[in-house]
Amino acid sequence: MIQTRLLDIALREFGLKGPEGASTREIARAAGTAMSSITYHYGGKDGLYLAVADHIAARMAEEMGPVLDTRTSPVTGDPVVARAHIHAALSRFVDKMASDRNSDWSLFLIREQMRPTQAFDRIYGGVMGQMLDMLADLICVTAGVADRRMARIVTITLIGQVVTLRAQRATCLRLLERDEIGDDDLVLLKARIAANIDAILDRLRAEQQGLS
Q: Is residue 157 part of a domain?
A: yes
pLDDT at 52: 95
Identify whether the C-beta of residue 193 lies closer than 8 Å to the C-beta of residue 162.
yes
Residue 26 lies in a domain: no
- The pLDDT tens digits along the chain (212 residues) read 778 889 999 999 999 999 999 999 999 899 888 888 899 889 999 999 999 999 999 988 888 777 666 554 544 689 999 999 999 999 999 998 888 776 778 889 988 999 999 999 999 999 899 999 999 999 999 999 999 999 999 999 999 999 999 889 999 999 999 999 999 999 999 999 999 999 999 999 999 887 65
Using a cut of 0.85, tell me whether the model's pTM lies above it: yes
pLDDT of residue 183: 92
Q: Is residue 175 part of a domain?
A: yes
Number of domains in the chain: 1
Nearest to 102 by CA among 136, 125, 128, 122: 128
pLDDT at residue 25, rounded to an integer: 92
Using DSSP, state whether 32 is helix, strand or coil. Answer: coil
pLDDT attached to residue 69 = 63
Report how far residue 181's alpha carbon sits from residue 18's, in angstroms, rounded to the nearest whole number.
Answer: 27
For residue 74, give its domain range.
55-211
Indicate whether 49 belongs to any domain. no
In a domain, 18, yes or no: no
- pLDDT score at 212: 58
| CATH assignment of the domain containing 201 | 1.10.357.10
Q: Is the dihedral of CA 134, 139, 141, 145 positive or negative?
A: negative
User: Is 19 within a domain?
Assistant: no
Residues 101 and 59: beta-carbon distance below 8 Å: no
Q: Quick one: pLDDT at residue 96? A: 86
